[in-house]
Amino acid sequence: MENLDVTVLRALQGWRAEGRRALLATVVRTWGSSPRPVGSVMALCETGAVVGSVSGGCIEDDLIYRYSRAHGAVQGTSVPPGITHEIPTGPPERVKYGVSADEAHRFGLPCGGTLELVLEFNPDAGSLAELVQTLASGHLVERRTEIDTGRVELRPAATPAALSDDGQWLSNTFGPEYRMLLIGAGQLTEYLATMAVFNGFAVTVCDPREEYRGSWNVPGVDIATDMPDDVVRGFRVDRRTCVIALTHDPKLDDLALLEALETDAFYVGAIGSRRNNEARHARMIEHFDQTPESLARLRGPIGIYIGSKTPAEIAVSVMAEVLAVKNGVPLPRDMEVATAKNTLSAAEPSAAVCFVREPS
């Protein structure tokens, strides 16, 4: 599954290339609770087709009603002021939803929620094509829109940035897909890869062992067959990439993890028990000149503690931790697998063994 922002922009570019009217809606400000964060985008075609979202659905319905032929005015009926049932031309407009309690209820916003959107009408197809092509090549792009005119500028961006709106320019940074490199093509990898694709990651599975690759069957996942450390070196790992080792085989995992620790990957981790994790650190310190400090970024045992036992549950645990790190959410230490298991072990009463001599 493609990154949602890229999906929205690609659909919008396609509509405009076909000569269809379309608009781009961007969430620029929220007050109170809101269904979608600032920076979220949605594209609407004149046919009523929608990609992306700015709310739970009610605001999308209102935009479709106002700006598409899908809800054209019925002959002989009155049309409220401002309702054209077509996408206009001209500079961007600002609209607010949920200012009053009645509106919040009508548009499905949480209690007290207010949403401000910027609507860009009929964005230039050429600029959109350039933006989509740049994103497809793996680069971050800052898209700046002049509110008074609708003029768009594209600039290279070094790092992801929050949306900026100073009243004159709307600046939104779009990035390529988040990527996940999984080492080992076992059953756990199938579950984790499926979840990652569902969450918008571009997933690559690396396994030089033909017997494991032979039964692989997850659509939309790339397969690499070289040694994992070579794959990591050639993967162009960046801040939107995570690397996870799942083979339990030091010959495959260790060198790849060491290569990943030399990159800007936002998450580097390996599956395994607490004992295996300690053994991995010891090996790397003894044989590869690592230190506790150089291994501080290496996560293990990976995942958050949910009492998982099956491969599917373990994949949920790992995916949850990856998403938390990606989204910058600090996890309490008692949710770490090692911390939780150590706490549970300490709380368990020791088993007392009593030998009783039977009477002769």
Report the SS3 class of residue 43.
strand
Contact 316, 306 (CB under 8 A): yes
Judge whether residue 93 has pLDDT over 60.
Answer: yes
* Residues contacting 336, CB < 8 A, separation 6+: 304, 305
Whether 111 and 33 have beta carbons less than 8 Å apart is answered as: yes
- pTM attached to this predicted model: 0.69
Domain boundary among 174, 208, 232: 174
Same domain, 254 and 147: no
**C-alpha separations of 103 from 39, 77, 338 in Å:** 22, 24, 48
State residue 316's pLDDT score: 96
Burial of 321 (0-12, 13-18, 19+ CB in 10 A): buried
Q: Which residue has the tokens 């997850």?
A: 218
User: Average pLDDT in the 237-251 region?
Assistant: 93
**Do 65 and 208 lie in a common domain?**
no
Exposure string for 330-347, b = 16+ CB within 10 A, e = fewer: eeeeebbbeebeeeeeee
Domain extent at residue 96: 4-72+84-174
Same domain, 169 and 183: no
The pLDDT of residue 3 is 73
> What six digits make up the tokens of 87?
């996408």
Mean pLDDT of the chain: 86
At 112 the pLDDT is 55
Binning pLDDT at 50, 70 and 90, where does residue 114 land? confident
Distance separating alpha carbons of residues 41 and 9, to the nearest angstrom: 9
Enter the DSSP assignment of 354.
-
Domain count, the chain: 2
pLDDT score, position 179? 93
CA dist 142 and 217 (Å) reads 37
pLDDT higher than 60, residue 77: no
Q: What is the mean pLDDT of residues 152-180?
A: 91
Q: Is the pLDDT of residue 1 over 80?
A: no
Query: What letter represents residue 241's amino acid?
Result: T
- More confident call, 333 vs 352: 333
Residue 347 is assigned to a structural domain of this protein: no
In this structure, what token pair is assigned to residue 51? Answer: 């990609």
Please say if the pLDDT value at position 351 is more than 50. Answer: no
Q: Is the peptide bond before 301 cis (omega within 30 degrees of 0)?
A: yes
Query: What's the pLDDT score for residue 319?
Result: 97
Whether residues 253 and 268 fall in one domain: yes
- Same-domain pairing of 270 and 121: no
Same domain, 33 and 125: yes
Q: Which residue has the higher pLDDT, 267 or 343?
A: 267
**Between these two residues, 114 and 357, which has the higher pLDDT value?**
114
Domain final residue, candidates 141, 174, 207: 174
- Region 275-300 average pLDDT: 94
Same domain, 130 and 223: no
Q: What token pair was written down for 127?
A: 């600029």
- As given in the structure block, the two tokens for residue 262 are 């030399």
C-alpha dihedral sign at 5, 7, 12, 14: positive
pLDDT over 50 (residue 355): no
Q: Are residues 216 and 139 in the same domain?
A: no
Q: What is the structure's pLDDT at 180?
A: 97
53-to-106, 200, 352 alpha-carbon distances in Å: 17, 15, 60
**Among 149-153, 210-214, 290-294, which stretch is predicted with the lowest mean pLDDT?**
210-214
pLDDT at 360 exceeding the cut of 50:
no
